[in-house]
Amino acid sequence: MHKNFKNIEKVVYGRGSFDTMGSILAEKRGGGFFVFLVDNYFKDSELIGRIPASNEDVMRFIDVDPNEPTTEQIDHLRDDILASRGLPSGVVGIGGGSIMDIAKAVSLMFTNEGSSTLYQGLNLVKKPGIYHLGVPTISGTGAEVSMTAVLTGPEKKLGLKCDWTVFNQVILDPELIASVPRDKWFYTGMDTYIHCVESENGALNNAFSHAYAEQAMKLCREVYLGDDAGQTPENDDKLMVASLMGGLSLTYSEVGVCHALSYGLSKILDEKHCYANCLAFQHLEDYYPEGVREFQTMLEKHSIELPQGLSKNWSKETITAMAKVAYNLPHMWRHAVGEDWQEKVTLEDIEALFRRM
Ligand code: NAD
Ligand code: ZN
């Protein structure tokens, strides 16, 4: 019942803190080399010149669109680097939630034999991974702080989840998120907002998770609804902290109905996590009336239009398949609806929620 969670070992925060990476890594190098995994978006940016890489280091640019990270991608990256260069001193991920998950997963797979598909689940990883440092460049998922690295495999979309997944070091530099396009800024930021709404509204909410959620929600409201709402340096400072705190809140509580539906959308229709959450959340007024109302205000304030009537183009089989994925996340329903959730929510009820979309 009582969760015992590992937090990030070290965190540096602030504008320009990216440039502390050189001194941080110097202590960890130990005569070896580092692997830098960087979102392709930054390939031709000035940021590359600021990465403290030496000639021996490996730099890989990764395209994270349109697919979420796969087990095959992780295995291939690991095998390739081990075969050509051997075991690195550490892995550095620079990018969004996708790159955070890739860096965390590769770090573990450098020391755990076989395919990453063997380790999808809770505490299946056998040995600690190598040193890993994360630098988020878009805020909201909380992947920078979570103990899971979500991977899509041939059979399941499931995280490598254990204490060793958590980053050894995170660098939170709000300057890096300034270039995020407005729509992605909105969808990914809303992941944090939804984490808080779901964490707060359920059986597992407690003073610890509540403290993080309350603060993260306050920051989200300033960023998305305040008089100075929008992508300003001050708001970027806040959103980066909100993302971290939203992630911590759900770590000590749980997500709920929106994330259950979102998993269905991602698994069956390949929708990306944050966008899928937004598609689902707008129709969850029965479960989260205040949260959905506030979310609608945020949509209007930023002129974000979510598609309506999508389900008209979904077959009955598609809707049932998505509902089954959602139904098979009992921990989320138990938190959101109660121990007796199966008496209150049927597969047909979940199908009806998808039909609202
Ligand atoms: P992402 O990493 O998928 O990137 C989204 C887009 O933003 C990409 O096009 C990327 O190139 C672009 N981008 C990133 N930083 C940018 C910048 N500074 N300027 C301009 N463009 C930039 O984004 P995300 O929404 O943070 O992450 C989604 C992923 O996170 C999914 O794969 C999901 O499964 C995963 N996730 C993981 C956890 C976890 O706890 N591990 C939680 C939620 C979601
Ligand atoms: Zn989420």
Q: Which residues contact 129 (CB under 8 A, 6 or more apart)?
A: 104, 107, 108, 109, 110, 111, 112, 164, 165
- Name the residue at shortest CA distance from atom 41 of ligand 1: 143
- Residues 31 and 182: their CA atoms lie apart, in Å, by 42
Contact between residue 9 and residue 237 where contact means Cβ atoms under 8 Å apart: no
Average pLDDT over residues 210-225: 98
Half-sphere exposure of 103 toward its Cβ, with a 13 Å CA cutoff?
A: 35
Q: What is the pLDDT of residue 154?
A: 87
- Confidence bin at 189 (pLDDT 50/70/90): very high
| Residue 36 Cα to ligand 1 middle (Å) | 17
- Residues 145 and 143: their CA atoms lie apart, in Å, by 5
- Name the residue at shortest CA distance from atom 21 of ligand 1: 180
Q: Identify the residues whose C-beta falls under 6 Å from ligand 1.
A: 39, 41, 64-65, 68-69, 95-99, 101, 137-138, 141-143, 146, 148-150, 176-177, 179-180, 184, 188, 273-274
Ligand nearest to the CA of 267: 1
Average pLDDT over residues 108-135: 97
| Residue 172 Cα to ligand 2 middle (Å) | 19
- Name the residue at shortest CA distance from atom 17 of ligand 1: 180
| Residue 96 Cα to ligand 1 middle (Å) | 4
Instruction: Identify the H or E element spanning 19.
Output: none
Residue 2 buriedness (CB in 10 A; 0-12 / 13-18 / 19+): exposed
pTM above 0.75, yes or no: yes
Q: What is the pLDDT of residue 125?
A: 97
Q: What is the pLDDT of residue 155?
A: 82
| Mean residue pLDDT across the chain | 97
| Choice from 50, 67, 101 to test ligand 1 binding pocket (greatest atom count within 8 A of CB) | 101
- Confidence bin at 68 (pLDDT 50/70/90): confident
- Residues 357 and 354: their CA atoms lie apart, in Å, by 5
- Confidence bin at 156 (pLDDT 50/70/90): confident
Average pLDDT over residues 21-48: 97
Reduced to 3 states (helix: H, G, I; strand: E, B; else coil), residue 155 is: coil
Nearest atom (ligand 1) to Cα of 146 = 40
Is the per-residue pLDDT at 295 higher than 80? yes
The predicted-structure confidence for 240-284, as pLDDT tens digits, reads as follows: 999 999 999 999 999 999 999 999 999 999 999 999 999 999 999
Is the per-residue pLDDT at 1 higher than 80? no
| Residue 190 Cα to ligand 2 middle (Å) | 9
